[in-house]
A and B are shown apart, each in its own frame.
Chain A
Amino acid sequence: MVQVAFFAGAVGALGGAIAVIALRNPFYSVLALVVHLVALAGLFLLLHAEFIAAAQIVVYAGAVMVLYVFVAAYVGNVDEPLWEPIPGQRIIAPLLGLALFVELSIAVLGSALKAIETRGPELENSFGSPEAIGELLLEEFLIAFEAASMLLLLAAVGAVVLAAKRRDEEGERA
């Protein structure tokens, strides 16, 4: 049963990722990424990370992707041109990607980590639950938690500054 769920999630994630890079219309790519994120949330569930899965759906697929959709709509649907100005890029890039994948796989599979070959220890039910996450955040990783909040604040301010209309700018396009 678990295997079926895994493969479904894997197919969804991979399919979404490949669709992102393959589709020429950026709007379609955004939608493909949403699919990818939801599939990943499913995989997270399989890994006993319920809170994270929920956060992924709500925050990532919900808020961040909505931002993407807004901007894609604002910017407009300009299809990507076919012609490649950098000679050889379209050949070398996939090759490099392949090399990257092979190396990482070798690193993972060829390592002496015994735990990889197992499922892992038996976990209690509270592993990955919101209480567990909350405890960790507020006790062990308090500083990281606070720093993350600061970062979010800074990002928000930065975005406002970047996208603010300048007074001497001409009128925006519809």
Chain B
Amino acid sequence: MTATTFGWLILAFPLAGAILTGLTYKLTKPETAGWIATGAIGLAFASAVAAAVDLLGKPGSERVIPDTLYDYGGAAEIPFDLGILVDPLSIFMALVVSGVSTMIHVYSVGYMGTDEGYHRYFAYLNFFVFSMLLLVLAGNFVLLIVGWAFVGYASYALVSFWYRRTTATNAGMKAFVINVIGDIGLVFAAILIIQQLGATEYLTVFETAPEVFDSDEWTIVAICLLLMVGAFAKSAQLPLHTWLPDAMEGPTPVSSLIHAATMVTAGVYLIARAHPLFELAPTAANIAAGIGAATLFIAATIAIAVKDLKRIIAYSTMSQVGYMIMGVSIGAYGAGLFHLMSHAFFKALLFMAAGSVISAMANFQNIDKMGGFRKALPFTFLLMTIGALALAAFPGTSGFFSKDEILGYAIERGGWYWACAIAGYAGAFITAFYSFRIVFRVFYGEPCKEAKELEGGHLAHHEPVNPHTFEPEDTDVGFPGKVHHIAERTWPMAVGMAVLGFGALFGGYIQVPGIDATLENWFEPVFEASPLYAIVPPVGQAWLGLAVGSLISILGVSLAYYLYIVAPGSTDRIRERFSRTHQVLFNKYYFDELQDALVVRPVQAVGRFANDVVERVVVQGVVNVVREGVVAVGGAVRTAQSGFVRSYALLVIAGFVALALYFLIAAA
């Protein structure tokens, strides 16, 4: 079995799992459905591993393999076929996606065990993994767009999973609409590519692009900017980022999978994949790097102010994806993708641990109400700390190696990229701070009411309400289930978390500067044509960067330790002193309000106008005129049906007279 066969299998298993789980929802017990779904993704992961092994068996130049299942023969004059591209980049993404998804499926079997919508959940989750794998394995831009759109839909379906909650459905719609804006950008980019280059397949496009375009020609810049619109909508970068915090309305494993490890990294994958185009348009690449740097910093600052546990982690995701975007835009492809992998591990882990904590809090998410869970949730505490350490890029963790590799590359490239590096280091400091803000606020301090209950062995429980609006709910389908599951009591959750924790701690050792360069060698066949990929910082400089990084990380953690453990209450005093700044941060820089005023309200006004004037007056008016015309004609004709026999006789005679007249005239 060749690598490409495995490639198709990677796609087939999750799709089959989704269909099977979805269609047999009445036949299977909830747990069975969950394990079937997990099995499907597990098989996909196995196929990805097999494909990787097969690729490793080939020499480097033969590792980029396109394969076609069906040729549409240029339908609608668009040259594309049902084809995948199996190469180190796509297999790497497939491994990360399927691997982390398997763990999240295992976790979900436990976490969603008592939800009424169990089968629907796993069907959607499998479909999401299928879509994401389709996106990364696609061999041409059209199939990429198909996978892109499917992922957007799956995200919508899963965010509004508890569909009887209005806040959830609103969040789902917001996510979907912003995703569609990205889709539009992507489609326009594909149209331009077809128009300029006459092909959609990756290999053809990337080969012919340098011949057709000069560097920084406006067409290629436009294409790259449109691709960036798509990437930023999916990866929640400024200004299309407002959907991500609201998307936390979905169940926690959904946040873990979609909004931490996979969907938000689609933009990073896109830029890495389309790197030949971006290298032809340095302007666009620089803009992307700038936006990545800005997002990284701004999101980190917001994360130190918001109160909802999942939203803090969401902003952290936004910030880390900013690092990745910045990385692949400046040419650090290997480093950016390495950070993608390590981020997948520790962010998914953080969300899983947060899920456990929220269950202990009976579905409340406000960290103000949490505290002192250390004794009650020891396993969760351990794994949350591991995740926080990786997020803070503490020396030795995976996050440490990956994040600092990006920043080291930025310094090596020099020029204005120094600004990116400085933003990166500043962001790292804030990241370290807020990662431990979470840990110290939730697990240290005076145990809260729920923690005390749990220490006594009893899981807290109260009437189900919406955690944000406090509307009363029930536990039937469309709302969260009755029972809450914590990691200490539910073994699938613990298993998922443990595996990811291992990856978060030790995953970084595959790319230690000067010792091994596993990923760099692995990606060589994909990026070898790129001059930027060849830039490798010298080992000594890399280790200097690592040292600076460790210092910043330790400082950040220590600051958090000081403010929360040594001098508790000092954060309240700081908040009062800088209340104006705090307001801005707490309100997320008013981006939502800005979008509301600039986009939502004008569109609503147009809609109102269209309804009141165009629809009611013009369209309805035309219809009314037609209707009244027909009724009038009918009324006129109806007078002939008087029922009087003599009128009918009159008509007969009159007809005869007319006919005779006609013949008389004709004969004359």
Contact = CB atoms under 8 A, between A and B. Distances in A.
Q: Do chains A and B touch in the complex (CB under 8 A)?
A: yes
Contacts of B642: 86
Nearest to A106: B664
A103 B661 contact: yes
Interface string B635-661: 000000010101100100110110011
Most B CB within 10 A of own CB, among A89, A92, A103: A103
A96 B654 contact: yes
A89 B660 contact: no
A100 interface: yes
B657 A103 contact: yes
A89 B650 contact: yes
A99 interface: yes
A82 B593 CA distance: 84
Contact of B646 (A86, A97, A106): A86
Query: Do most interface residues of chain B lie in helix, strand or loop, or is the interface mixed?
Result: helix
A86 B664 contact: no
Interface residues of B, number: 12
Interface in A61-115: 85-86, 89, 92-93, 96-97, 99-100, 103-104, 106-107, 110
A96 B658 CA distance: 10
Interface string A142-169: 0000000000000000000000000000
A92 B652 CA distance: 13
A110 B657 CA distance: 17
Contacts of A96: 650, 653-654, 657
A99 B657 contact: yes
Given A103-B661, A106-B664, A107-B660, A89 B653 contact: no
Contacts of A100: 653, 656-657, 660
Contact of A103 (B646, B650, B654, B664): B664
Nearest to A100: B657
B664 to A, nearest CB: 6
Nearest to B649: A93
B640 to A, nearest CB: 12
Given A92-B650, A93-B650, A103-B664, A86 B657 contact: no
B122 to A, nearest CB: 76
A164 to B, nearest CB: 25
Nearest to A84: B646
Nearest to A99: B657
B660 A86 contact: no
Contacts of B661: 99, 103
Nearest to B656: A100
Contacts of A97: 653
B647 A107 contact: no
A36 B661 CA distance: 29
Contact of A104 (B644, B647, B653, B660): B660
B646 A89 contact: yes
A107 B657 CA distance: 12
Contact of B644 (A86, A99, A107, A110): A86
A103 B647 contact: no
B657 to A, nearest CB: 5
Interface of B: 642, 644, 646-647, 650, 653-654, 656-657, 660-661, 664
21 contacts: A85-B644, A86-B642, A86-B644, A86-B647, A89-B646, A89-B647, A89-B650, A92-B654, A93-B653, A96-B653, A97-B653, A99-B661, A100-B656, A100-B657, A100-B660, A103-B657, A103-B660, A106-B664, A107-B660, A107-B664, A110-B664
Given A96-B653, A104-B660, 20 more contacts: A86-B642, A86-B644, A86-B647, A89-B647, A89-B650, A92-B654, A93-B650, A93-B653, A96-B654, A96-B657, A97-B653, A99-B661, A100-B653, A100-B660, A103-B660, A103-B661, A106-B664, A107-B660, A107-B664, A110-B664
